[in-house]
Structure 1
Amino acid sequence: MPYAAQHLAQAPTRAEVDRLPGATVLEFGTPWCGHCQRAQPLIEQALRDRTDMAHIKVEDGPGQRLGRSFGVKLWPTLVLLRDGQELARVVRPQDALTMEQLLGADRPAPG
């Protein structure tokens, strides 16, 4: 499940996110957000072949606890997790390099 085109009908709880196994990209945004819409081709391209990584798209907004627990202020915000722990994040990605750097944070440093 490398790329999720739709937001979840119901966001997971923070406890559920903290228990996620392996690598996961949590994407916070809304379907009507212009920044989110513009970023989708970049996100889809970056995740296209990443079968080793889950992608969870969470609709964010006032009163949405999961986004607040991650300190989300702007959309889209993508948070890379490994076994529920945050490794890196990017806000409003503008290019493929930014997405590569985010997803590369899950790989061990060479040497």
Structure 2
Amino acid sequence: MGSILSALRRERSSSSSSSSGGAEASSEPSRILVFHSAEQWKQHLHSSKDTSKLMVIDFFASWCGPCRYMEPILKGFSVKFTDVDFVQLDVDELSDVAQEFGVQAMPTFVLMQGGNEIDRMVGAKKDELERKIEMNRSRHVGAKRTI
């Protein structure tokens, strides 16, 4: 499983860095996992049920301006919050997964822990997303709430 995750890690294009809205550029490689198949995503989701580690899922689309704005911000968060898993799922590639999560607008960020959704945010709101990550990253599985 570790080799699959390593193979899925990739640095996102820096083409949107000019629209980053003041986000600090980082020379660090991205720690964001990008899944291109529903099967790989389901394997990762299943394995995450056995951990209390926070996972932030970014449902995005390549044509979405606010998604491109959030891309370098999410990369920076992935470097800052090394105790959090960051995942990006393209709604056009994985439309069934997006539908299962009830995604209706992009970007949608779903925060999960122990396989359960604990929080959600729609829109390109850097400060709100950072606050939600800070608030939820130290929670234990027993403290989750069902949405």
Does the TM-score normalized on the shorter chain lie above 0.5?
yes
**TM-score, normalised with respect to structure 2:** 0.60
Contact in 1 for aligned 2:37/2:94 (Cα 8 Å):
no
Structure with the larger strand share: 1
Shift in alpha-carbon separation, 1:29–1:44, aligned structure 2, 3 A: same
- Match of 1:8? 35
Q: Which secondary structure state, in structure 1, belongs to the residue aligned with residue 77 of structure 2?
A: helix
> Whose Rg is larger?
2
Task: Provide the residue aligned with 1:40 in structure 2.
Answer: 71
Runs of 4+ in 1 over 3 A off after TM superposition: none
Alignment partner, residue 29 of structure 1: 60
Shift of 1:99: 1.9
Looking at secondary structure, tell me which structure has more helix per residue.
2
Displacement of 1:47 after TM fit? Answer: 2.5
Q: Scaled by the length of structure 1, what TM-score is found?
A: 0.77
Aligned position for 1:52: 83
Question: Are 2:36 and 2:93, in contact at CA under 8 Å, matched by a contact in 1?
Answer: no
Q: Does 2:131 match 1:98?
A: no
Q: Structure 2 counterpart of 1:77, which letter?
A: T
Whole-angstrom CA distance in 2 between matches of 1:102 and 1:61: 26
SS of the residue corresponding to residue 79 of structure 1 reads: strand
Of structures 1 and 2, the one scoring higher in RCO (CA 8 A, sep 6+) is: 1
Q: CA deviation at 1:8?
A: 2.0
Structure 2 unaligned spans of 5+:
1-8, 10-29, 140-147
Structure 1 alignment gaps of length 5 or more: none
Q: Secondary structure at the match of 1:105?
A: helix
Residues 1:93 and 1:18: Cα distance change in structure 2 (over 3 Å)? farther
Backbone CA RMSD of aligned residues:
2.5
Q: CA deviation at 1:84?
A: 1.0
Q: 1:105 to 1:70 in 2, by over 3 A?
A: farther
